[in-house]
Structure 1
């Protein structure tokens, strides 16, 4: 298994895809026909919920539907996996996330991460945004990991694969990655830069693969049939 260095996270948080409960839930989601099947059968879009979470300030149930326009918050020790259209998200514990509606009810145009961490895979589409207190990422079809670490005033962003337009302060760059290119978004320019290179932290190749599978997709390294050496282990 390929992992990245843990910083402020636990093994259990990044190895969620190994849980029997998730494997059963993912198999049920696939048997249902994924997002299209859930819509056709008027079923909720939560693949798995462990622990307590809030949806617009009210307790979230496994049978509920997370929609664009909602605010989702996970509690301590909790995890939440859901799919909206061609976007799949996994929220770590203690995460506060706002979703903005795109052209349709089932199109996510923006994820605003206030605190916590979220791994997400996005199918092809128009430019969409992930926004943190210190960083904005314009994404296309890609897989990414985003985190606002507790007690820190900067944000972490890893372009696991795909093309992302990144902005932090006055700094801008286009990240095109086949296999993990990570950044810190600083609140003020550090040594003249608000966007700085970062190590691969707190996520795994396998969780991106599982999220992609929920959408009927594959990651860039799965398509290529190999993984580049960069970030291959820690």
Structure 2
């Protein structure tokens, strides 16, 4: 398994893809034709649901479909995997988020997170956003991981696992280009004059992104290129990056 660092999360949370129930559900989802077949046959777009979750304040059941405009809440020891349009989402426990509507019922314009953690893979398309209390990320087609820490004044963590992302926190802005995990903190209070600061990869694994990509007929950048880098926050593919990534040299 890919080495990873946990911060306030458990091994079982990041190893969800190894559960037999998920593997069976994912195999069935693929065998039945994925999201296009689910839409055509008016079936649920939920791939896996474990524990208790709410949709718009009501209990979420596996037979229900999640649409843009819905608010999702997961309880303790819960998890949710679903596909919406060309994007796939893993929602960890104790998460509250809203998927805001874009140009169509199945197009997400904004993933607004109030607390918790979400790993997601986004198909190519118009610019969309992930918004937390302290950070904004404009995404096109990419795989990312986002987490909000309410106990740290809603400080937010964001990893551009691969792709191009327009990052913003407070007055700070930068463009992140990554092929292997470039991570940031959206600070609640400035650190050394900055609200957007570099971070290392925490609380998510390569395998999670690979499974989410597969659900929407994609592959991660490292699968396409056939090699991985080091989860040092720089986003390079080289095994030992010699210099900092330009995105780390952000103006104050």
Could you tell me the TM-score, scaled by structure 1's length? 0.97
1:166-185 to structure 2, matched below 5 A, reads: 166-185=167-186
What's the counterpart of residue 125 of structure 2? 125
What's the counterpart of residue 250 of structure 2? none
Deviation at 1:163, TM superposition (A): 0.3
Q: Could you tell me how far apart the structure 1 residues matched to 2:124 and 2:97 are?
A: 22
Q: Could you tell me how far apart the structure 1 residues matched to 2:18 and 2:231 are?
A: 24
Indicate the SS of the match to 2:28: helix
Per chain length, whose mean CA-contact separation is higher, i.e. which structure has more relative contact order (CA < 8 Å, sep 6+)? 1
Q: Could you tell me how far apart the structure 2 residues matched to 1:58 and 1:117 are?
A: 20
What's the counterpart of residue 69 of structure 1? 69
Q: Could you tell me how far apart the structure 2 residues matched to 1:56 and 1:87 are?
A: 20
Deviation at 1:189, TM superposition (A): 1.7
Deviation at 1:230, TM superposition (A): 3.9
Runs of 4+ more than 4 Å apart: none
1:1-234 to structure 2, matched below 5 A, reads: 1-153=1-153, 154-231=155-232
Indicate the SS of the match to 1:26: helix
Indicate the SS of the match to 1:189: strand
Q: Could you tell me how far apart the structure 2 residues matched to 1:134 and 1:229 are?
A: 27
Deviation at 1:3, TM superposition (A): 3.1
Deviation at 1:41, TM superposition (A): 1.1
- Please list the CA deviations of residues 121-157 of structure 1 after superposition, one character each: whole Å capped at 9, or x if unmatched: 0000010000000000000100000000241121000
Q: Could you tell me how far apart the structure 2 residues matched to 1:72 and 1:182 are?
A: 25
How many pairs does the alignment contain?
Answer: 232
Q: Could you tell me how far apart the structure 2 residues matched to 1:173 and 1:229 are?
A: 21
The CA RMSD measured in Å over matched residues stands at: 0.9
- Please list the CA deviations of residues 96-119 of structure 1 after superposition, one character each: whole Å capped at 9, or x if unmatched: 010100000010111001000000
- Please list the CA deviations of residues 203-225 of structure 1 after superposition, one character each: whole Å capped at 9, or x if unmatched: 00000000000001000000001
Deviation at 1:199, TM superposition (A): 1.2
- Please list the CA deviations of residues 62-91 of structure 1 after superposition, one character each: whole Å capped at 9, or x if unmatched: 111010000000000000000000110000
